[in-house]
Structure 1
Amino acid sequence: MSSTSPKAQAAREAVAVRLREIRLDAGITARELAARCGWSESKSSRIEHAKTPPSDADIRSWCAACGVPGLADDLIASNRQADSMYVQWKRLQRTGLRRLQESGVPLYEQTRQFHVYCSNVIPGFFQTQEYATALLTSIARFRGTPDDVTEAVAARFKRSHVIHEGDHRFAVLIEESVLRYRIGGTEAMAAQLGHLLSVMALPSVSLGIIPFTAPRPAWPLETFTVFDRQRVHVETLSAAIKETQPSDVALYLKAFDNLKQAASYGPDARALIASAIGLLDSRD
């Protein structure tokens, strides 16, 4: 089995337990179930012990063999949710980066309130073309994915139309270090920081910057986005993690509120950006 988070594994185990209960309620052995489904008894065992995640077809066959085909849809939904909680980037990006950018469009268009915390890069919907190109190029090289960076950047910009259209609100926090990481070279960073100043003026955007020197109520965290207080996407080096359990969503919102206490807004935030722009020339 591929690497997974403890929570995703627990969700998969819950599906496996439910499948075993269905078999026991039907009064059939694992061998008999395997015979009815047309697979090996060892496969039934692996599924029941959460060693092998079942496919949609496996679940439908299992439920049909136990005489309860009507239970299949709910189990399939639970299984898919467990499978999507922790997805390795190499799986998401195996065909390139464009498709991943496009897949996020419906969620971005449906979301009314974004809470975004970035500790490493400028948030995607605030990025310039040059900055996004440099960033996605480095990701593609690191991951060894097919080179579709030009198409991926175009897709990212299409996804970012939500900051200018519709009834969307953006509460965004970034670390001051994000302003200093030179992604794409001096000219690209200067343009990116200038664009960030213009984005701050949008009525839909609340941008806070956490200064290096601010007393911290919380330590720097991994980058995350909360969508309408209902789901969280967390980015780690190896995987994308999705959380939908209310207690987990509340935890990230609490972290956001804590970090917000240290952030600078308005003129103070603009001064931090201007300072970062000034440092670009001094470091050449």
Structure 2
Amino acid sequence: MAIQPDQLDRSGLELAAMLKHLRKQAGLSGVRLAARCNMSQSKISRIEGNRVRPSLVDVEQILKGLGASSVTAAEVMALARITQTEWQDRRALHRKGLDKKQLELAGIEASTVDFRYFLLSMATGLLAIPEYIKESIADTPPAQQAKAISLKLERQAVLLDRSKSFTFILTEQAVRYPLVSPDAMAMQIDRLASLSRQVNIRMGVLPIGVKFSSTPLSTFTVYDDRLATIETDLGAAVFRDPKDVHSLLGRFGSYEAYAIFGDDARELLSQWAWKFRR
């Protein structure tokens, strides 16, 4: 999954051009190909014009309709997998408006039942107190901040929906990173401990002394088994390809095996909060 942002910009255009080229090479009109694939001609046109992102099933159907060789099909499917990844540049998100991002996340959360969060360096907004949220978006244009904070706090209501389950795994660094004042940090950690008592929330921590991975780490979230995001300081990559999503689910499961949950986790959280209070 080592995909560079510029690859994502090019991949959609390349896939569209490749599918159009293969259709012409096969001597098929858009109408005839659509009939073979059980698609509308307008959908074929939109895919070839890069006006719509085809699903992997769509691409498989088109390749079958074209009678593509196994070598060609493998090449096209590899490119199609990359197009299932979306890069969200942090600067572009700021220009678009952080409030729109919060509404987008709320929509994803509304349709998700099982949430898994691996938090490497900071707590996520669903777990954060207002002071923590405010500081976490300090680089956002001031005009956007108040609305963004309000929307982030509103999104926390999803945690109260008992039909949904949440598993959060935080490294010790994520819990203890001093983003706000010591008193506020103690309150932030207290919130984690309090939330861990909800029946639909599992709160796990990974102390610094625990070696749980030998590969580079990133913050990531998996929504059911259909969507995943990986976050960096430059932006976020969104993965829809089932292979990528299942890869992150496997990674999450391996981290989960080393994490501390329940009373033991709350004891650690209490110790860390007390150090801030001191």
Whether these two folds match at TM > 0.5 is yes
Partner of 2:124: 123
Q: What's the CA shift string for 1:107-149, capped at 9, x where partnerless?
A: 1011000011000111221111111111112x31xxxx45311
Change (3 A) 1:250 1:27: closer
Deviations 1:194-246 (A, max 9, x none): 11111001111011100111232444611110011111111111121011111
Q: Equivalents in 2 of 1:83, 1:250: separation in Å?
A: 14
Higher mean alpha-carbon deviation, 74-83 vs 157-166, is at 74-83
Cα deviation 1:132-190 (Å, max 9, x = unaligned): 111112x31xxxx4531111011112222110025110011110111211112112211
1:109 maps to which residue?
A: 110
Cα distance in 1 between the residues matched to 2:118 and 2:255? 9
Q: TM-score, normalised by structure 2?
A: 0.76
- 1:187 paired residue among 183, 187, 195: 183
Aligned with 2:168: secondary structure?
Answer: strand
Q: What SS class does the counterpart of residue 120 from structure 1 fall into?
A: coil
* Cα pair distance change 1:267/1:15, threshold 3 Å: same
The AA in structure 1 aligned to 2:104 is S
In structure 2, relative to structure 1, the CA distance for the partners of 1:171 and 1:8 (3 Å cut) is farther
Residue 170 of structure 1, aligned match among 166, 187, 203: 166
Gapped runs of 5+ residues in structure 2?
30-40, 56-81
**Preserved contact between residue 120 and residue 223 of structure 1 (Cα < 8 Å):** yes
Identity of aligned residues (%): 21
Deviates more, 1:215-224 or 1:178-187: 215-224
Give the aligned residue type for 1:98: D
Q: Which moved more, 1:68-77 or 1:257-266?
A: 68-77
2:134 matched residue in structure 1: 133
Distance in 2 separating the partners of 1:178 and 1:70:
45
CA distance in 1, matches of 2:255, 2:85: 28
Partner of residue 260, structure 1: 256
Please name the residue that 1:77 is paired with: 52
Secondary structure at the aligned position of 1:130 is classed as helix
SS at match of 2:95: coil
Letter in 2 for 1:17: M
What TM-score does the superposition give when structure 1 sets the normalisation length?
0.75
What's the secondary structure of 1:85's corresponding residue? strand
Distance 2:222 2:213 in 1: 20
Partner amino acid, structure 2, of 1:156: K
Contact 1:116–1:224 under 8 Å retained in 2? yes
How many residue pairs get aligned? The number is: 237
For residue 78 of structure 2, what is the aligned residue in structure 1? none
Q: 1:5 to 1:261 in 2, by over 3 A?
A: farther
**Which residue, 240, 253, 256 being the options, matches 1:244?**
240
Q: Give the aligned partner of residue 52 of structure 1.
A: none
Change over 3 Å in CA distance of 1:131–1:150 after alignment to 2: same
Aligned partners of 1:130, 1:11: CA distance in 2, in Å? 40
User: What is the letter of the counterpart of residue 268 of structure 2?
Assistant: L
Paired letter, 1:128: I
Q: Is the 8 A contact 2:186 2:274 kept in 1?
A: no
CA distance in 2, matches of 1:148, 1:18: 41
User: Residues 220 and 191 (structure 1 numbering): CA distance in 2 closer, same or farther, change over 3 Å?
Assistant: farther
